Structure 1
């Protein structure tokens, strides 16, 4: 008995194709792919990337809508961090050019106002620390209260590993979303950070979720991890079920252990975008650091039509981003509406 064929592809082969199976599982049912299926997606040949991104875009439109969420970030405390995250130039353990700096509350409020003017609905305050001490917590709470009284924008925070008491204080202050990246797959984490564990970061995220704040958790791709570990990472994020996943691509920083790593291949980055969307059909996937270097203008547009539905606008913590107006123009060119504040709360 012979199998029916369509061109050179048998019916059985077509039915077994990972994108066909993903269409039935992810697009039709809203169920994310598992680790083994994510691996199949990451192994798709270059000529299938266009099909992958098209499906990922369909999934994003169906389960997240067509709006793009904009966010600005600012560093409350820069540099001098005691941790050894190998990608980060803010570590006080490396000979990097970043210098210690603190911003006062008026500067944070002004930055929030400037961010709101771009149309962004999220403003994230970040500090380079293992976890906040009392001084930092007090300043952060004051900043959140002042911004909320003067600026029409959601305030998020990212200040490292938290205690339960600190989680409760941030939730009470009205922090909308807390960012704490797992950074990479659990199995690869010791190659990236040695001064604290993957499990410690996950514990903070569980407390944040229990306190009722939205969870923002992603990581950085292109740090030497294998395809298997990228699939592992995507499945671990899906298990955590965060509200938002920032997708960073390594931008090798001078003075860090990862300074000499090669920039991730554009096609591999696009495969990751499609794969993460198929693993996380209902989650905000946000373009974050490294996209300019890894993807360029064309790749960034392909990502926004391939599963990405949020962007950090302006500069990052220690690297320059694109002008905010350029991103706004790009989103308009792609005919994608920008999410309004009243749809994010």
Structure 2
């Protein structure tokens, strides 16, 4: 017996239009999964709705960020995607950047039009030497460059969180990386909970939370939806979206690159799950999406991007990304201010 109009199940994008676009309430885990399960013929529809959500709840501006590594390589952790692990036979070797180098990098980032500069270190968590150098770097940058300073130096103690707050770090990045249920397939030397606990301390201290991860590491669609729900529980200011770029010498070196259609569907789904969050293009977009897919993402829910190179892989020249924003008539602007 055919369903009457009133008895027909509501299409997930119709539901999202009411719940997310009209009310600003993100999709829950089950609803996000329904979006991820939609066919390729509906990707354009997903992205168009995600773009409307982004415009209504975040505005039209795009935030650009440059990142630099204070300490590269030699990390004791076994994150299976990362060539900076000292446990793998990968080509990245340990190196430190001095304060003058960090200040110069911040100046170049600011000149490009970017509004945020993130200092990153390949460590499980910072020792006192690293904390001292980070504090000096933040002070030196703030003295010479008009740019927001963020940091990403791993798992923190409460005392370290307090020091970063006092130094003027306005946003802290520590990626959950993937869904809680999939995390043991990606990292075995520390727990998903240790990452979450750091982020909770950061938020309680009044530092903006930046946490995302990498898609395409072998997680199921159910786990992708779980990951979006995990992130939503943190209420992050920013979620970086990376796509696996298989690195030589790592356990994930032979994994296939995520299909463009799957990446675009995920971008739209994450925007519908996180309607008011800064959703940032990060590593792997050049390989997974190319120029056309990047443009589709910018018109499909993304409202921030890392410009220039990443930590161990090359990105596009900053000028190319800024030219793309100009072509799409998307303005560049600081979306948040220091806490």
TM bucket by the smaller chain?
A: over 0.9
Within the alignment, does 1:273 sit opposite 2:263 as a pair? no
Measured on the aligned residues, the alpha-carbon RMSD in Å equals 1.2
Query: Matches of 2:299 and 2:176 in 1, distance apart?
Result: 26
Aligned equivalent of 1:214, options 183, 208, 213: 208
* Equivalent of residue 103 in structure 1, options 67, 81, 97: 97
Deviation at 1:340, TM superposition (A): 3.9
**Is the CA contact (8 Å cut-off) linking 1:252 and 1:258 kept in structure 2?**
yes
**What is the TM-score of this pair, normalised by structure 1?**
0.96
In the comparison of the two structures, how many residue pairs are matched? 338
- Cα deviation 1:96-117 (Å, max 9, x = unaligned): 0001110000000000000000
The one of 213, 224, 248 aligned to 2:218 = 224
Q: Which runs of 5+ in 2 are unaligned?
A: none
Alignment partner of 1:16: what SS? Answer: coil
Q: Does 1:50 align with 2:44?
A: yes
**Aligned pair 1:244/2:264, yes or no?**
no
Return the alpha-carbon distance in structure 1 between the equivalents of residues 291 and 147 of structure 2. Answer: 28
Indicate the SS of the match to 1:292.
helix
Q: Which sections of structure 1, spanning at least 5 residues, go unmatched?
A: 5-9
Residue in 2 aligned with 1:20? 14
User: Which residue number corresponds to residue 75 of structure 1?
Assistant: 69
**Residue pairs, 1:150-229, within 5 angstroms:** 150-229=144-223
Per the alignment, do residues 16 and 242 of structure 1 end up closer, same or farther by CA in structure 2, a change over 3 Å counting?
same
Structure 1 runs of 4+ off > 2 angstroms? 1-4, 10-13
Native 8 Å contact 1:121 1:344 kept in 2? no
Q: 1:154: how far off?
A: 0.3
Shift of 1:317: 0.1
| TM-score for both structures, normalised by structure 2 | 0.98
Is residue 327 of structure 2 the alignment partner of residue 333 of structure 1?
A: yes
Aligned match of 1:66: 60
2:33 maps to what in 1?
39
| Aligned twin of 1:123 | 117
Q: 1:2 to 1:134 in 2, by over 3 A?
A: closer
